Homo-oligomer: A and B are copies of this chain.
Amino acid sequence: MRRITLGEVCTLLKENNNFHILTHNYPDGDTLGSGFALCCALRKLKKKANVIVDGNYPSKFTYLNENYKDQNFVPQYIVSVDVASRALLTKNVQQEYEKINLSIDHHATNTMFAENVYVDGQCAACCEIIYQIILDLGLEIDEDMAASIYTGVSTDTGCFCYSNTTENTHIIAAKVMPYCDWKNINQINFAIKSRAKLKMERMVYDTMEFYAGGKCAIIYTTLAMQKALGAGDDEMEGLASIPREIEGVLMGITMRQKDDGTFKISVRTNGDIDAAEFAAKFGGGGHKGAAGCSIKGDLSTVKYKLIKAAEEFL
């Protein structure tokens, strides 16, 4: 459980072999991009490395693992990417990997669960760290790495729009763009909406309510709504950004009913409102502008708890 430098990260990667790289559950573009880019880099160093994707692989990210093939070996060194705490791994993965040797992450809230931890909370995406590691390892960016890195930096910043974007995010984008089909990546992640998703968005807009004098907007999806529209995980993505987009809203809350009787809560904030602090009231966490938690209960009970907490918080 020690913090190490980026130079030490590179040394550990060079000195070890037979890597398993863990992504977080509900994998997004940044954890997958970080995983695949790091895996490419290690294989270029003639290491054996596999990416262990935790949770369901979102179909829209198929372009990231098209050229990827699992290698056959016994893992010796376990690295997690973009994973802020063990709780973000599924139970299965938690059991299989009791010890994690290295955590590479951009969440300032990282719980220091690994033997060695490198965290840079200034980075908009974990992929920014991976990009620097690739350079520091003396490797050249290839198409697969570029597509992975671009995916991570663009998806974690809402295509360079969110306030976590930095000059470095733009510079990395400019550096990797010549090597990958970023136009296609943007189409997939930011432009194209399935008709099912469109219907889901419209249904979700119908649930929107405002509280705290318009400073809080709350929306929800239920299993019944999902079933009615035949909406899968892909259609559910991105809904969390909807309530925060409304003028005057400082905190947007999205409730998504899960199979296990809980609601997955996404909190998105504007200005000085700390989403992680709010989510922590319900045992969750995350970043200042984007955080999450889980709450057990039926729709109206969970919603009432959230509204009450939001009114007090704002």
Contacts and interface: CB of A to CB of B under 8 A. Distances in A.
B246 A187 contact: no
A228 interface: no
A247 B192 contact: yes
Contacts of A161: 159-160, 186, 190-191
B163 A247 contact: no
Contact of A191 (B186, B195, B244): B244
A174 B247 CA distance: 27
A194 B163 contact: no
A277 interface: no
A195 B191 CA distance: 23
Interface residues of A, number: 34
A198 B201 CA distance: 12
Interface in A105-140: none
Given A174-B170, A177-B167, A194 B160 contact: no
A193 B247 contact: yes
A224 interface: no
A246 B198 contact: yes
Nearest to A271: B187
A178 interface: yes
Given A170-B173, A202-B202, A160 B163 contact: no
A270 B191 contact: yes
A245 interface: yes
Contact of A178 (B167, B177, B183): B167
A205 interface: yes
A74 interface: no
A195 B197 CA distance: 21
Interface string A51-80: 000000000000000000000000000000
